[in-house]
């Protein structure tokens, strides 16, 4: 099958490659760019392990063709940490509040939470639960994930306040 | 001593040993997307394997035409059973003493069965070629109902063993019969029941479900032809056992096989078994000379690798009219699917199902289990539980509730009346287990007081009256469940898998500067071993947990062990860790005696050092002793500070707990809202309370999924009725309630640190609590038992049958 030339910005860096048009974004990220943070947990867009940020929206990258991401801005878990290399408040909070166990859902979960907190910086527990309902976790029972996201939201708010 | 000298308490805190809510060392990698799961592995020249699978539940293969698939550019090979036969690899041994087709030989026996293995340059080309392999089938009648498997006119499923009427567990009664297992005194149990004042009888079915970890199964097999070494990275919960099995079936010497379990994205029992994908990948790598990757997709995972449960339990329980249980009888029909690939210790074809007297002092009991073949996927793994313990616990907890209805007694009172008493431990049950320790009454009392059980029952009474007056359409259910697990298999004298004794191991090396590495025979799949095993060791040898590396999963470096499942890591490998630590300490004591010029007996251990009795100023810390072991010639002692322990536990451990669930059911929609869930766990000594709590949250959520929606169902011709995450229920954050956790501590008397294991308890106890609550909601309307899963439709049907939503 003939390949197309794709270009996009991933985690702030311009990238390009040749890919069959049917190639899924998740496979391009994992196999061509070696960004193995986002995972594949189902074939049907239910689990959310492959969640990445595409032009400011959370998408399940198993359901996006790389062709659709041509020219886009993509952020994966590998691009969530602060520019100085320190961990983002969400990454710290997940560690602090035991928001992960096997770690397989974690990259998608944190990437989704990262977008959620931009959409709604001060979510209620119910809003967090609804906001991450496209991301499945089999280990934690979500309780500590919700706690982690709540703590990160508070941390980000106090950082913002301190900056102002 | 001046004020700057840290006290023993301060030094102990610095260790982050037993009881510390230590943060996980695993998390820095995982939160940054730097885990290393099997699908992340990429080797030069690697090809990708994919299966052609059966669309039928039962069919004869008339022909397989590979030509069109082989013509696709990028396709390297297409393997079928004919290609594996010369290697004698078309069948493989199962963990249960049966054989399983690696690639279908003449017949397919379940939908999704592996028929051919395509090897191609990438997963897209492999998938294209899978579609082009032409298989001509002749469909045959299928068996989907285990109760019809042994009918006189039932179709013969396993032609390969149709004349072999002596099975791995005794004589077979029918071509589709696998084994009969019997435990207990039949005459005594039947006599108790026939003479009893009250007898309750019920058919309790536990539906077929699937562990469904978020990461599916897979492997990368790489045969290095130059040095003759086969390395397989894979989703293995028992890497050492996989190595031995691989050696036995391929005849490759065991030292030339290296099995590596990298990070594993959840297991829950799904990754215990040996699957055709592993064998085909290894064969393909040997044939092609390049590495082969095989990764299941989700549908393949749910339809071909390791289901759980599918137990149909007919029970009778008897009691005096004032509620003293006198007898229990149970017959189980076990649906094992097309091949008997149960993951149970060899002598236990129904696992530890004979723990089914539960937490109660029952004077007479009898159990029989019949396993049968059907046209369904093989498996029968312990989905987040010890071998068949969830089935046993669900059975007894439902039966006790059914008996309570019949006696018109409160289910909590009936439990309290029949508990094994604290002073009876160690307690030997009539079905043969020796319970190590327990204090059930204290646990249930604490649970009932915390939730205000009396108040809840009063609220329920008011709710029922309001419902009858037409003021509400919701019914309140209260589920009481108590469980006793049996975990930590196990003593080698009665527990083995394929002849391999179920001990486990730990090897410790102390470095000269006082840090350490410990390697174990287990493998974490999210339990946090790298964090908690270092805590056990920190308390034993006085080196801070942060200075101890824990390594597992590589058979070339880790000591031999039977792996992680059945909550055995803490009871067995955790014990090995403590014992190896004590060997380190014993040697360190000899070094300290030499350096301090005193007799060993004049020394005492104090947190992180040996000190002279009565003169604590004269001491040597473990770090000092470690250095001395490398730089001093000590008469009579070898240099270095290392130890290994292979631990064969004297008994299993028996964690227990009391769970209470409160829910509201909308009778018009069947929607069930879990309002409150309280879980009290007693897992003995608590290593890391933060991790225990996390394990309980996760296990309860899996229990919720099972009780309220999970089912792998088949239609009459063997089609799986839905095998994606659209159909198979995994709760999201929205359906999952908030969990309340609590604990009591009753240490195991035989475990070196008194720990019992906890990861699986919430699944074992949780399912009963949810199901008891749903049944309880309708109890006053005459319901005694309704089958799981309690999804909206089934709950609505129950309400309809009781005439509540007309």
CATH of region A89-163, choose from 3.40.720.10, 2.40.10.10, 3.40.50.360, 1.10.150.120:
1.10.150.120
pLDDT of residue B566: 86
Q: How many CA atoms lie within 13 A of B527 on its CB side?
A: 26
CATH number (3.90.1310.10, 3.30.70.980, 3.10.20.30, 3.40.190.10) of A4-79 reads 3.10.20.30
Q: Give the model confidence (pLDDT) of B616-665 as tens digits.
A: 999 999 999 999 999 999 999 999 999 999 999 999 999 999 999 999 99
Choose, out of B24, B31, B678, B679, the residue to mutate when testing the contact with A (most A CBs < 10 Å).
Answer: B31
A98: chain B residues, CB-CB within 8 Å: 23-24, 690-691, 693-694
Annotation marks residue B617 as catalytic: no
Nearest to B269 by CA among B387, B408, B127, B443: B387
Those of residues 714-743 in B touching chain A at CB distance below 8 A are 724-726, 730, 732-734, 736, 738-739
- The reply to whether A93 touches chain B by the CB within 8 Å rule is no
Across the interface, of A20, A76, A106, the residue whose CB is closest to B30 is A106
Tell me the pLDDT band of B490, cut-offs 50, 70 and 90.
confident
In the set B16, B237, B525, B527, the catalytic residue is: B237
Cα–chain-centroid distance for residue B26?
21
CA distance B411 to B404: 5
Q: How far is residue B24's CA from residue B458's CA, in Å, rounded to a whole number?
A: 43
Distance CA B57, CA B139 (A): 8
Biggest CA–CA distance in chain B, Å, is: 89
Q: How far apart are CA B212 and CA B593, in angstroms?
A: 54
Helices (H), A68-139: 89-96, 106-119, 125-131
pLDDT tens digits, B655-674? 999 999 999 999 999 999 99
Q: How confident is the model at residue B5 (pLDDT cuts 50, 70, 90)?
A: confident
- Sequence-ordered alpha helix ranges (H) in B452-489: 453-468
Are the CB atoms for B695 and B194 separated by under 8 Å?
A: no
Question: Rounded to a whole number, what is the distance in Å from the CA of B531 to chain A's nearest CA?
Answer: 11
**pLDDT given at position B747:** 98
State how far residue A136 is from chain B, nearest Cα, in angstroms. Answer: 6
> What pLDDT, on a 0 to 100 scale, did the predictor assign at position B805?
83
On chain B, the residues whose CB falls within 8 A of the CB of A145 are: 733
3-state secondary structure B639-661: CCCEEEEEECCCCCECCEEEEEE
What local confidence, expressed as pLDDT, does residue B480 receive? 98
Q: Are strands B434-435 and B114-120 parallel, antiparallel or unpaired?
A: unpaired
Q: List phi, psi (to 5°) of B344.
A: -135, 155
The pLDDT assigned to B780 comes to: 97
Do the Cβ atoms of A138 and B266 come within 8 Å?
A: yes
**A138 pLDDT above the threshold of 90:** yes
d(CA B53, CA B43): 27
**From CA B124, how far away is CA B137, in angstroms rounded?**
26
Name the B residues in 513-542 with CB < 8 Å from any A CB: 525-528
Q: What is the pLDDT of residues B135-145, one digit of tens each?
A: 999 999 999 99
Catalytic residue among B217, B385, B506, B683: B385
Closest-CA residue of A relative to B267 is A102
Whether B610 has a pLDDT exceeding 50, the answer reads yes
Q: What is the ipTM of this complex?
A: 0.98
Q: CA B203 to CA B184: how far, in whole Å?
A: 20
Active site residue B384: yes
Q: Does B1 score more than 50 pLDDT?
A: no
Predicted confidence band of residue A75 (pLDDT cuts 50, 70, 90): very high
User: Which residues, at least 6 apart from B626, have a Cβ–Cβ distance to it below 8 Å?
Assistant: B510, B511, B512, B513, B514, B588, B641
Residues of chain B numbered 20-79 and touching chain A (CB < 8 Å): 23-24, 26-35, 37, 39-40, 42
Q: Which residue of A has its CA nearest to B29?
A: A103
pLDDT of residue B498: 86
Check residue B806 and give its pLDDT: 65
Q: What is the pLDDT of residues B379-438, one digit of tens each?
A: 999 999 999 999 999 999 999 999 999 999 999 999 999 999 999 999 999 999 999 999
Q: Is B642 a catalytic residue?
A: no
- Residue B480 and residue B412: Cα distance in Å, rounded? 7
Average pLDDT over every residue of A48-76:
97
- A65 CB near a chain B CB, below 8 Å? no
Average pLDDT of span A82-110:
97
B214 touches chain A (CB under 8 A): yes
Interface mutation vs chain B, best among A34, A98, A126, most B CBs within 10 Å: A98
Chain A hits for B43, Cβ within 8 Å: none
> Taking the CA atoms of chain A, what radius of gyration do you get in angstroms?
16
A3 reaches B (C-beta below 8 A): no
Q: How far is B277 from chain A (nearest CA, A)?
A: 18
State the best of B42, B50, B213, B214 to mutate against chain A, taking most chain A CBs within 10 Å. B214
| Residues A42-57: b if buried by 16+ CB within 10 A, e if exposed | bbebbbbbbbbbbeee
Say yes or no to pLDDT of B201 above 70: yes
Question: Mind telling me how many Å the CA of A40 is from chain B's nearest CA?
Answer: 7
Measure the CA–CA gap between B259 and B290, rounded to whole angstroms: 17
Q: Which residue has the tokens 């009991």?
A: B365
CB B629 within 8 A of CB B594: no
Rounded to the nearest 10 degrees, how much is the dihedral formed by the CA atoms of B111, B112, B116, B119?
160
pLDDT, one tens digit per residue, over B438-454 is: 999 999 999 999 999 99
Q: What is the mean pLDDT of residues B321-328?
A: 98
> Looking at chain A, which residue has its C-alpha nearest residue B697?
A141
Domains, chain B, ranges and CATH? Answer: 8-35+504-647 (3.30.365.10), 38-140+221-264+272-290 (3.90.1170.50), 389-487+652-801 (3.30.365.10)
CB contact under 8 A, A42 and B724: yes
- The domain spans of chain A are 4-79, 89-163
Candidates B27, B30, B733; nearest CB to A142: B733
Question: For A11-41, what is each residue's pLDDT tens digit?
Answer: 999 999 999 999 999 999 999 999 999 999 9
> With pLDDT > 70 as the criterion, what percentage of chain B qualifies?
99
Q: Are the CB atoms for B652 and B488 separated by under 8 Å?
A: yes
Per-residue pLDDT of B694-705, as tens digits, reads 999 999 999 999
Distance CA A52, CA A34 (A): 15
Residues of B in contact with A46 (CB under 8 A): 724-726, 730
pLDDT tens for residues B596-605?
A: 999 999 999 9
Residue A43's pLDDT band (cuts 50, 70, 90): confident
**Is A95 within 8 Å of B739 when comparing Cβ atoms?**
no
Which residue in chain A has the smallest CA separation from B33?
A37
Residue B3: per-residue pLDDT: 55
Tell me what the pLDDT averaged over chain B comes to.
96
Section A122-142 average pLDDT: 98
Residues 7-36 of A with CB under 8 A from B: 20, 22-23, 27, 30-31, 34-36
Query: Do B26 and A103 lie within an 8 Å CB cutoff?
Result: yes
Hey, are the CB atoms on B266 and A129 less than 8 Å from each other?
Answer: no
Give the residue on B whose Cα is nearest the Cα of A130: B734
- Indicate if B760 belongs to the active site: yes
């Amino acid at each position: 099958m003939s390949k197309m030339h794709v270009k996009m910005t991933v985690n702030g860096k311009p990238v390009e490659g040749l890919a069959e048009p049917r190639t899924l974004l998740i496979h391009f990220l994992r196999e061509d760019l070696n960004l193995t943070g986002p995972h594949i947990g189902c074939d049907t867009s239910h689990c959310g392990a492959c969640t990445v940020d595409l032009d400011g929206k959370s998408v399940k990258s198993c359901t996006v063709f790389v062709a659709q991401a041509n020219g886009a801005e993509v952020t994966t878990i590998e691009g969530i940490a602060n520019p100085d290399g320190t961990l983002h408040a969400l990454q710290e909070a997940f560690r602090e509040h035991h928001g992960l166990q096997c770690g397989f859902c974690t990259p998608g979960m944190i990437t989704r939470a990262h977008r959620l907190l931009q959409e709604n910086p001060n979510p209620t527990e119910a809003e967090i639960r609804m906001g991450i309902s496209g991301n499945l976790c089999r280990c934690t029972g979500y309780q500590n994930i919700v706690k982690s996201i709540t703590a990160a939201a508070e941390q980000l708010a106090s950082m913002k306040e301190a900056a102002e | 001593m001046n004020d700057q000298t840290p006290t023993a308490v301060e030094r102990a805190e610095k260790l982050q040993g037993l009881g510390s809510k230590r943060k996980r060392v695993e998390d820095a990698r995982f939160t940054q997307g730097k885990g290393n799961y099997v699908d992340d592995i990429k080797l030069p020249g690697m090809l990708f394997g994919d299966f052609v699978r059966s669309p039928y539940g039962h069919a004869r293969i008339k022909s397989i035409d590979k030509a069109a698939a082989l013509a696709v550019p990028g396709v390297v090979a297409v393997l079928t059973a004919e290609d594996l036969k010369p290697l004698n690899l078309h069948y493989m041994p199962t963990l249960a003493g049966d054989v399983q087709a690696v690639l279908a030989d003449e017949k397919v026996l379940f939908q999704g069965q592996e028929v051919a293995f395509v090897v191609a340059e990438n997963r897209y080309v492999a998938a294209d070629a899978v579609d082009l392999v032409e298989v001509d089938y002749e469909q045959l009648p299928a068996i989907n109902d285990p109760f019809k498997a042994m009918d006189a006119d039932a179709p013969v499923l396993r032609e390969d063993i149709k004349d072999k009427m002596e099975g791995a567990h005794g004589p077979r009664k029918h071509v589709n019969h696998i084994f009969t297992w019997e435990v207990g005194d039949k005459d005594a149990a039947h006599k108790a029941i026939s003479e009893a004042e009250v007898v309750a009888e019920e058919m309790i079915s536990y539906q077929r479900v699937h562990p469904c970890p978020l990461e599916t199964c897979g492997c990368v097999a790489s045969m290095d032809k130059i040095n003759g070494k086969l390395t397989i990275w894979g989703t293995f919960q028992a890497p050492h056992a996989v190595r031995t099995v691989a050696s036995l079936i391929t005849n490759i010497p065991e030292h030339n096989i290296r099995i590596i379990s990298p990070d594993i994205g959840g297991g829950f029992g799904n990754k215990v078994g040996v699957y055709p994908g592993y064998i085909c990948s290894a064969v393909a790598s040997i044939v092609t000379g390049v590495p082969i990757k095989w990764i299941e997709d989700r549908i393949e995972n749910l339809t071909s690798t390791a289901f759980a449960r599918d137990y149909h339990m007919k029970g009778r329980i008897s009691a005096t009219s004032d509620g003293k249980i006198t007898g229990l009888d149970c017959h189980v029909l076990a649906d094992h699917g097309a091949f008997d690939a149960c993951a149970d210790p060899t002598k236990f074809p129904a696992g530890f199902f004979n723990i089914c007297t539960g937490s109660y002092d029952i004077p007479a009991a009898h159990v029989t289990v019949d396993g049968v073949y059907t046209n369904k996927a093989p498996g029968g793994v312990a989905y987040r539980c010890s071998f068949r313990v969830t089935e046993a616990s669900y059975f007894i907890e439902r039966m006790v509730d059914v008996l309570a209805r019949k006696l018109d007694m409160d289910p909590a009172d009936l439990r309290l009346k029949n508990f094994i008493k604290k002073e009876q431990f160690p307690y030997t049950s009539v079905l043969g287990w020796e319970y190590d320790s327990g204090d059930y009454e204290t646990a249930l009392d604490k649970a009932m007081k915390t939730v205000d059980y009396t108040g809840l029952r009063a609220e329920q009474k008011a709710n029922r009256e309001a419902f009858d007056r037409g003021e509400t359409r919701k019914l309140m259910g209260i589920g009481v469940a108590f469980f006793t697990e049996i975990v930590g298999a196990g003593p080698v004298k009665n527990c083995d898998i394929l002849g391999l004794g179920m001990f486990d191991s730990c090897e410790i090396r102390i470095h000269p500067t006082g840090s350490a590495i410990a390697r174990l025979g287990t493998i974490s799949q999210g339990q946090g071993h790298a964090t908690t095993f270092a805590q056990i060791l920190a308390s034993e040898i006085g080196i801070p947990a942060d200075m101890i590396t824990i390594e597992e999963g590589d058979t070339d470096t880790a000591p031999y062990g039977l792996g992680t499942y059945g909550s055995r890591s803490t009871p067995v490998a955790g014990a090995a860790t403590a014992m190896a630590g004590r060997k380190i300490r014993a040697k360190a004591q000899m070094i300290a005696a030499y350096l301090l010029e005193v007799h060993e007996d004049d020394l005492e251990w104090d947190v992180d050092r040996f000190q002279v009795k009565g003169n604590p100023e004269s001491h040597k810390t473990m770090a000092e002793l470690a250095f001395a072991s490398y730089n001093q010639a000590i008469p009579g002692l070898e240099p270095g500070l290392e130890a290994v322990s292979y631990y064969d536990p004297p008994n299993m451990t028996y964690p227990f707990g009391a769970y209470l669930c409160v829910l509201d059911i909308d009778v018009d929609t069947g929607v069930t809202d879990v309002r409150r869930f309280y879980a009290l766990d007693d897992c003995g000594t608590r290593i890391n309370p933060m991790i225990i709590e996390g394990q309980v949250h996760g296990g309860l959520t899996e229990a919720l999924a099972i009780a309220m929606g999970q089912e792998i169902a088949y239609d009459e011709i063997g089609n799986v009725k839905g095998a994606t995450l659209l159909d198979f229920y995994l709760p999201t954050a929205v359906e999952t309630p908030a969990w309340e956790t609590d604990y009591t501590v009753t240490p195991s008397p035989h475990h070196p640190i008194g720990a019992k294991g906890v990861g699986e308890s919430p699944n074992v106890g949780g399912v009963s609590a949810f199901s008891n609550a749903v049944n309880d909601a309708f109890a006053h309307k005459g319901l005694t038992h309704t089958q799981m899963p309690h999804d909206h439709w089934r709950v609505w049907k129950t309400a309809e049958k009781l005439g509540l939503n007309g």
